Structure 1
Amino acid sequence: MHSINLHLKILIAILVSLGLAITGYQIYFLEIPVTEDETDDIWSLDARLEFQAVQGVPVKAQMFIPPLNQDYTSLNESFISNNYGVSVSQADGNRRVTWSARRANGPQTLYYRLVLTKRYSPDEVESPPPAPRVPIVLEGPEQVAADALVDPIRQHSADIETFIAEAIRRVNDTTDDNVRLLLGSGDTVLDKARVIDILLSNARIPLELVRTIRLESTPNQEPEVWLRSHNGERWLYFHPETGQQGIPDNRMVWWTGQAPMFNLEGGRQGRVSVTINNSEMNALRLAQMTSDNGTSALLEYSLYGLPLHAQQVYRVMIMIPIGVLVILILRNLIGIQTLGTFTPVLISLAFRETQVGWGIALFTLITALGLSLRSYLEHLKLQMLPRLSIVLTFVVLLIAGISLFSHKLGIERALSVSLFPMVILTMTIERLSINWEERGGGHSFKVALGTIIAATLAHLLMTVPALAYFVFTFPAILLVLVGFMLAMGRYRGYRLTELMRFKALTKQG
């Protein structure tokens, strides 16, 4: 007996642990949404290149586009143009689109669109570190000014990160004569980035210009300049004016380097306008759209991989264990008597079509009339099989009559009575009549009432939308239910109704 108890405990522990582990993996690692109404941000990025084509000259327009190896998932990428050839190439770690045409006249507009999301994104591919730095050669007073700035920066820094932060702070101090000399007549962000680059090159520290875009719903957005350097382990990002370290979460790298955003041949007056819009999408539908990640592959081999009509069936079927658990608790812990375990669950499934109120009324009416017929047939001393056949035929006729009568009265909800399982109703009538004969009408009424209560509670729980979605999406949670059922299978204690019934004995003692 001890070995059986140990075996049961180990089995329960394995089932519960396995169910929780699989569900937790889906939620925390695959990021499958826990609720059906959970949504995620979808960003639509539109870049519009406009220019005037020079008549009689071939047109070649090149523009940097965002890399696809960032912490985002691309849902759709499109290039919209009229009579232009389109090609995408890699250049110095950047992606670049090239539009080309043999002939073009007048105003031209080329579009680039990228739709992306943060969720279900693959791991970002770290760019390789840059080659060793060669100092930028200066002449005369500019070299003296650079040395005058580099020496104190080196004294006030301990590593690459602090060196860059100190260099940015000093370059933005425009009261320093050395800084003003190196800046010249310019005072823009690019001018400051150029001076910072000079200082870091003298210290042989690598530096790259990074153009970023904000993921905010704003029209005509200008790419913002950031700086990045490699410390031998990872990339460090800095704002060239504020010195802020670490690129914000709402920014996406567009391209790196000092090259302009676009290059135009055969055209003039070119300009690019960037517009970003935000929308929301159901997180689960979003997971199904991202076909290039592990989440979508897992969903493909889950219940979501079934055809839609089959999914509708399994959405109902997979909730049956929840109904069975309700019946188990009501019978084994509370002590409510029902007609078996599965009869109330099957009745609760019929309530999905008739709703609870109409379902209880129709069930009561059909059962009461069926019991009356069963009582009459008992006087004829028929065998069980003919008796059940007659009751079943009567139930069919009764269902048809109720449907016809309710249709004439305009009560369309009562037409759903035809969806009741006729065999279950027949067996229910038979078992209630036998119960009536063996244990009396009071006990039979109590069992029928317990069956209706259990079916109603099971129906209410099985039709909770959030619970139905959770069980369908994470079916491994049913293993936890099996573990609980196994534990209840060894319960030998008093039921709640028995405690109430024997309460008087405890008072007398």
Structure 2
Amino acid sequence: MRSLTMHLKILIAVLVALGISITAYQIFALGIPVTEDAMEDLWNIDAKVEFVANAKDPVKVQMFVPPLNRDYVSLNESFISNNYGVSVNRLDGNRKVTWSARRAKGTQTLYYRLVLTKREGEKSKVKGPIFRDSIAVEGPEKIAAEALLAPIRQHSADVETFISEAIKRTNNLNDDNVKLLLAGDTSTAHKAKIIELVLSIGHVPVERVHTLRLEANQPQTPELWLRSFNGNDWLYFNPETGEQGLPADRLLWWIGDENLITVDGGKKATVTFSLDNSRMNALRLAKLTDESTDSNFLGYSLYNLPLQTQQTFMIMVMIPIGVLVILILRNLIGLQTLGTFTPVLVALAFRETQLGFGIALFTIITALGLSLRSYLEHLKLQMLPRLSVVLTFVVVLIAAISLFSHKLGLERGLSVALFPMVILTMTIERLSITWEERGATHALKVAVGTLFAASLAHLIMSVPELVYFVFTFPAILLILVGFMLAMGRYRGYRLTELVRFKAFLKADQ
């Protein structure tokens, strides 16, 4: 007996752990929204390229475009041009688009359009350099860089603080060493070059990254940041302040020292960015993201089924929820019903009739059926013929109610035909047997209990947020099974028994 109890506990623990793990993986790793009405940001970015082409030269325009390899995922990317060939290549972590044409004349306009969203969930592992050789520098510049490096080493404890301290000291324009190295050029790009020089003497690698601020309806230009790899992840730094951490609204556009755009066979090239923000249903966005990547996490979910089948399964996955409600009402509260599944099936029928109308129809049909069953009992019929008569009566009664409802303009009454006739017949039969064996009071109590349990189960099974959650995360049903198994060993008092045995408590006092 002890080994059986341990076996049951292990089984419950495994089911609950498995259900929680799968659901947590879907939410946190795959980024599936917990609620159906959750919304996510969608960004539309346009890069307008303008230049003047040389009349007799072939034209080749190269521009960096976002690598989109970690934090963001592209939903749509297009290259708009007239009579230009287009190719996209990857090199050293960057992506570069090339527009080419044999001949072009006058002002030319090209467009790069990108629709993207934030990538949620599991991040892929990244790699980067953790050591670099010193940049060759001679004379006073070398002495100034080494003099600047000494206090940086003294006031830092690791790579993060080392780089932050180097940036802060390089931005101190009152320092004579800084003045010598900057040589009057205080632009952000030149400061970044000096920071890279100083860090290279300490063998700390750093890269320049150019980002775009995701802000709608505002003119944007790429911003320069610095980053360094600490062995596990990239650390980003503001080259002006030394502040660590790339803001969440920054999109990495390209890495390195090269210009955003280069034009062969043309001049006066400019790139103008325009951004627009919209919001989309998170689940629909997750589907689009799934189609745009290789993850295919929705390929093995219920959302991959045909639409009509999905609607059927939305009802089916809620049946265990209804069963759990009945189980709690019976085993913990002590409510008396006609079994466990009859109230659940009646609750399913309420989906079409709606609750109020369904209760009225159920009461009428059951009451008339019990009257017929009582009459047939006097005829001393066997069970099978008796059930056949009751079933036929139920069909006739349903047809009559539907007909009169239609004549009276109560179209809701037509849905009574969706009540399972066999269920109604067996309900009438079981209630009549209970009436004979336990009396009319007990039969009425069971009937009311069944109707109450079915109504409560229907209300809970119809909650849209719960339907979405269970359908989207069906592993939650494993947790329910674990709970049902645990209740299978419950032998304690029910709440209604506290009322039944209240007299004993008074007697003891």
User: Normalising by structure 1, what TM-score?
Assistant: 0.90
1:8 matched residue in structure 2: 8
Per-residue CA distance 1:173-217 (angstroms, 9 max, x = gap) = 334455445444543222323343444456665443221112232
1:257 matched residue in structure 2: 256
1:19 matched residue in structure 2: 19
Per-residue CA distance 1:431-470 (angstroms, 9 max, x = gap) = 2222223332222211111110010011111111222222
Match of residue 148, structure 1, among 144, 150, 172: 144
Contact 2:131 2:203 in 1 (8 A): no
1:433 matched residue in structure 2: 432
Unaligned runs of 5+ in 1: 138-142
Question: Shift of residue 67 of structure 1?
Answer: 1.4
Per-residue CA distance 1:459-488 (angstroms, 9 max, x = gap) = 111111222222222222222222222222
Question: Shift of residue 155 of structure 1?
Answer: 3.8
Question: Shift of residue 223 of structure 1?
Answer: 0.4
- Cα gap change, 1:2 to 1:126, in 2 (>3 Å): closer
Tell me the distance in 1 between the aligned counterparts of 2:453 and 2:233.
61
Aligned residue for 1:297, secondary structure, equals coil
Per-residue CA distance 1:359-382 (angstroms, 9 max, x = gap) = 000111111122222222223332
Residue 471 (str. 1) matches residue 467 (str. 2) = no
- Cα gap change, 1:12 to 1:507, in 2 (>3 Å): same
Contact 2:55 2:105 in 1 (8 A): yes
Amino acid across the alignment from 2:15 = L
Residue 337 (str. 1) matches residue 332 (str. 2) = no
Aligned residue for 2:375, secondary structure, equals helix
Amino acid across the alignment from 2:119 = K
Contact 1:371 1:433 in 2 (8 A): yes
Tell me the distance in 2 between the aligned counterparts of 1:417 and 1:55.
80
User: Normalising by structure 2, what TM-score?
Assistant: 0.90
Contact 2:211 2:252 in 1 (8 A): yes
Aligned residue for 1:299, secondary structure, equals coil
Tell me the distance in 1 between the aligned counterparts of 2:171 and 2:13.
63
Tell me the distance in 1 between the aligned counterparts of 2:490 and 2:232.
59
Aligned residue for 1:97, secondary structure, equals strand
**More deviation, 180-189/472-481:** 180-189
Within 5 Å, give how 1:139-178 maps onto structure 2.
143-145=139-141, 147-158=143-154, 164-176=163-175
Tell me the distance in 1 between the aligned counterparts of 2:294 and 2:356.
41
Unaligned runs of 5+ in 2: none
Tell me the distance in 2 between the aligned counterparts of 1:212 and 1:136.
29
Per-residue CA distance 1:355-402 (angstroms, 9 max, x = gap) = 110000011111112222222222333222222222212211211121
Per-residue CA distance 1:274-293 (angstroms, 9 max, x = gap) = 22333333333333333379
Amino acid across the alignment from 2:452 = I
**More deviation, 153-162/363-372:** 153-162
2:445 matched residue in structure 1: 446
Aligned residue for 1:300, secondary structure, equals coil
Tell me the distance in 1 between the aligned counterparts of 2:322 and 2:199.
69
Contact 2:160 2:235 in 1 (8 A): yes
Contact 2:70 2:119 in 1 (8 A): no
**More deviation, 15-24/403-412:** 15-24
**More deviation, 106-115/197-206:** 197-206
Question: Shift of residue 131 of structure 1?
Answer: 5.5
Amino acid across the alignment from 1:253 = L
1:40 matched residue in structure 2: 40
1:99 matched residue in structure 2: 99
**More deviation, 104-113/216-225:** 104-113
- Cα gap change, 1:96 to 1:34, in 2 (>3 Å): same
Residue 117 (str. 1) matches residue 118 (str. 2) = yes
RMSD of aligned alpha carbons: 2.7
Amino acid across the alignment from 2:262 = N
Amino acid across the alignment from 2:57 = V
- Cα gap change, 1:391 to 1:107, in 2 (>3 Å): farther
Residue 245 (str. 1) matches residue 271 (str. 2) = no
Amino acid across the alignment from 2:20 = L
Amino acid across the alignment from 1:41 = D
Question: Shift of residue 307 of structure 1?
Answer: 1.9
2:76 matched residue in structure 1: 76
**More deviation, 106-115/219-228:** 106-115
1:349 matched residue in structure 2: 348
Aligned positions, number: 504
Aligned residue for 1:49, secondary structure, equals strand
Aligned residue for 2:280, secondary structure, equals strand
Contact 1:71 1:123 in 2 (8 A): no
